[in-house]
Amino acid sequence: MITAINPATGQDVGTYPLHDDAFVDAALNAAAAAQKEWARKPVGERAELLTRVAAVLRDGKDRYAEMIVREMGKPLVEAEGEVEKCAYNCDFYAEHAVRYLADEDVPSNATESVVAFDPLGVVLAIMPWNYPFWQYFRFAAPALAAGNGAILKHANNVPECALAVQEVMEKAGAPSGLTATLMIDASKVARLIEDDRIAAITLTGSTEVGAIVASQAGKALKKQVLELGGSDPFIVLADADLEAAAETAVKARYVNVGQSCVNAKRFIVDNAVADRFVELFVEKAAALKIGDPMERDTKIGPMARANLRDTLHSQVERSVAQGAVLKLGGKPVEGEGFYYPPTVLDNVKPGMVAACEETFGPVAAIIRVNGADEAIAVANDTEFGLGAALWTGDIVKAKQLSRRIEAGAVFINGMTASDPRYPFGGIKRSGYGRELGVYGIREFVNIKTVWIGPAK
């Protein structure tokens, strides 16, 4: 059985039976058969499904948002935004799929040749709890438009959301069997990866789990896209607009209660403005309301699980023991639920826990540096390479510095975020492959050369 726990109360909110091997086998057979038919449909017809999916999401936004809040604790306004973002993503690919998947002509002296984009088959999506709708539809919209099928193995602490995304697909009129949600233990995933009916794998999750899945998929010689951990730098140079930088920095750190791979985590600030930036940051972080995530003015809800809060608090304590200065927060909130307050650690040094480990929760690490060169060096001094933000008043300099930052995305005078228009993914131990944009829709396709000689 799978039991969902409301992180705001610590109380059980639902129990769900696991699917047995017979159910899983039937789902794989159905997906494999449905995908073959789906692949033969014109891209434009496949795109029409996404338009219907977007409509179903918007029609059910209130109910789906409440599910998200109930199972993982995201503040309600953010949960509503998550559902809307899923709908926007579906609309985006409905509009652009035909163009993104069109054959590309290849100039040749004697032939008419093209590069074609054919679907791979059924893709296994192993998804996390922190954005229980977005993580799925971020992958599913382009993958389905490209002609693939989709099997979801979701995180076991969001079972209602896992079943709900399949409900969305069915309400939108997806072909029977083309998509499915499997309620199974993690121990069953290796068999799915090995199964010949699965053509490729996409995973969003921890670096440790990513390494395991990559090993299993590599042994089976199957394509993977991995979006893993991050310790994103937020660089503030001396000529930055400090008020705007601090305002954005607080949002970048504490959105989703800090539980995102792409949250800003290390705030690398030029010493010339560090005191003022920290003052502004602490002031704005302290003003964030902690409370019931169903209340519309709540900014900080509970963390998703008790063990995640325990891990985060240990990281804070160990960082302070190493010499970091606690400026705000730093202790679990007493009472029911898994709450942890906005926390700020100043004078964090390279090598400290808060600088080296991914802090997956509402903890900000302030690292002081001297100048842009040291800022870039500290930003790159990590095993991760997902996103980065760079704040400066000199855009010419910012463009130059952005090329030196080791990350899959650099946002200048803004906060790192995913957007259907742009590719999303990381380097180093943050994973490989890309989601979103034209590159995302082409991850799970066979990029096929079609060489055409003269007819005889």
- 151 neighbors 31 (Cβ within 8 angstroms): yes
**What is d(CA 323, CA 331) in angstroms, rounded to the nearest whole number?**
17
- 138 neighbors 418 (Cβ within 8 angstroms): yes
Residue 286 burial (CB count, 10 A): 14
> For the chain, what percentages of helix, strand and coil (3-state, to nearest 5) are there?
45, 20, 35
Residue (of 388, 309, 287, 410) closest to 73 by Cα position: 309
Could you say which of 227, 357, 435, 443 is catalytic? 227
Beta strands in 186-335, from DSSP E residues, in sequence order: 200-204, 223-227, 232-236, 264-270, 325-328
Alpha-carbon Rg for the chain, nearest whole angstrom, is 23
- 86 neighbors 133 (Cβ within 8 angstroms): yes
Inter-CA distances, 454 with 109, 110, 112, 174, Å: 12, 8, 9, 41
Residue (of 142, 391, 30, 388) closest to 245 by Cα position: 391
Could you say which of 86, 90, 261, 356 is catalytic? 261
Q: Which residues contact 196 (CB under 8 A, 6 or more apart)?
A: none
Residue 254's H or E segment, with its range, is helix 242-254
- 388 neighbors 434 (Cβ within 8 angstroms): no
Give the tokens for residue 66: 């409440």
Question: Is 406 considered catalytic here?
Answer: no
Residue 149's H or E segment, with its range, is strand 149-153
- 143 neighbors 442 (Cβ within 8 angstroms): no
159-188 burial code (b ≥16 CB/10 A, e <16): bbbbbbbbebbeebebbebbbbbbbbeeee
Give Cα 248 to chain centroid, integer Å. 19
Residue type, 198: I
Give the tokens for residue 296: 């519309």
Q: Are strands 200-204 and 223-227 parallel, antiparallel or unpaired?
A: parallel
Question: Is 227 considered catalytic here?
Answer: yes
**What is d(CA 422, CA 414) in angstroms, rounded to the nearest whole number?**
15
Instruction: Provide the annotated active-site residues.
Output: 227, 261
